[in-house]
Structure 1
Amino acid sequence: MDRILLAELTRDARQTNNALAAKAGIAPSTCLARVRALRGSGVIRGFHADVDPALAGRSLQAMISVRMQGHARARLEAFMRHLAGLDGVLNVFLLGGAYDFFVHIATSGTEDLNAFVIEHLSSNPDVAYTETNLIFQHARATHWR
């Protein structure tokens, strides 16, 4: 039952409880209790607006790969939180593998992207290496299975 609710909420988090209950084949009171339980347990972390960066004035998106210096390993989580709070950052992923982070950013153009990389990454002594990849298209998954 919870998987059905998650799938439906992933498709449209703004639907009414009655509509969600009907799609799941349960009573509205049961649906409300299940969704509250999913929120309370942290499975559902929140409901968010899906903003189109281009229409909001940030038409250039990039994924920046970041490798940290060996001495900075103890500060990875703090650095991740710092990056997530910066203007234009959409997502920050802490990784295992060749890179320590992927930073998904939306900017108004190449000048702002260049300034971000220099100001927040290249000038940081804890950052060993960055690689910037432009994002031409993006499709958000619309299901949860």
Structure 2
Amino acid sequence: MSIKKQELVQLDKMDRSILEQLQKDGSLSNQELAEKVGLSPSPCLRRVRALEDAGVIVKRAIILDHKKLGLSLTAILLIGMDRHTPERFAAFEEQVSGYPEVQECYLITGHDADYMLKVVVPDMDHYHHFLLNRITRIQGVSGVHSSFVLRRVIDNTALPLGYLT
């Protein structure tokens, strides 16, 4: 099994400016974006399409307020697996990818866990049901440690583009 190294995309100052503006507001029209970065609309659109074609821009999304929608409980789950095989991990990942409650899923190291999940649900009753009827029923799950978010201190989706040269 060989692991491919992902090729880095070279960005210039204008590309970074476009990405910074889109991370602030993904709903900007091309005209608005062009004005903010100091380009005319046609070259701006060409650059955005090139960034999309290169896979730098993966998708544009709307961020919703959890609490205003009645989803007031956020849990962080650390999940241990009984076996560390590609098949076991693939089956787990396929299963949790179908659960709308799971906002994020990471294969991790450095803990007594193999996965970290961020889960959003309405309340503790829903979490209890999710845990007992979904997560613990996945073949290979050997342990679950739950922590509950008291307050979001930083909740940011923007990447730090200042590191790019």
Using the size of structure 2 for normalisation, the TM-score is 0.79
Equivalent position of 1:140 in the other structure:
155
The aligned length equals: 145
Match of 1:49 among 56, 62, 73: 62
Question: Where do residues 54-65 of structure 1 align in structure 2 (5 Å cutoff)?
Answer: 54-65=67-78
Question: Where do residues 1-145 of structure 1 align in structure 2 (5 Å cutoff)?
Answer: 1-70=14-83, 72-98=85-111, 99-138=113-152, 139-141=154-156, 143-144=158-159, 145=161
1:71, CA displacement in angstroms? Answer: 5.1
1:44, CA displacement in angstroms? Answer: 0.8
2:43 counterpart letter in structure 1: T
Percent sequence identity is 28
1:106 counterpart letter in structure 2: V
Distance 1:3 1:77 in 2: 35
1:131, CA displacement in angstroms? Answer: 0.7
Instruction: Give per-residue Cα distances to partners, 1:17-64, cap 9 Å, x unaligned.
Output: 122112222221111011111111211111111011221121111111
**Which stretch has the larger CA shift, 81-90 or 2-11?**
81-90
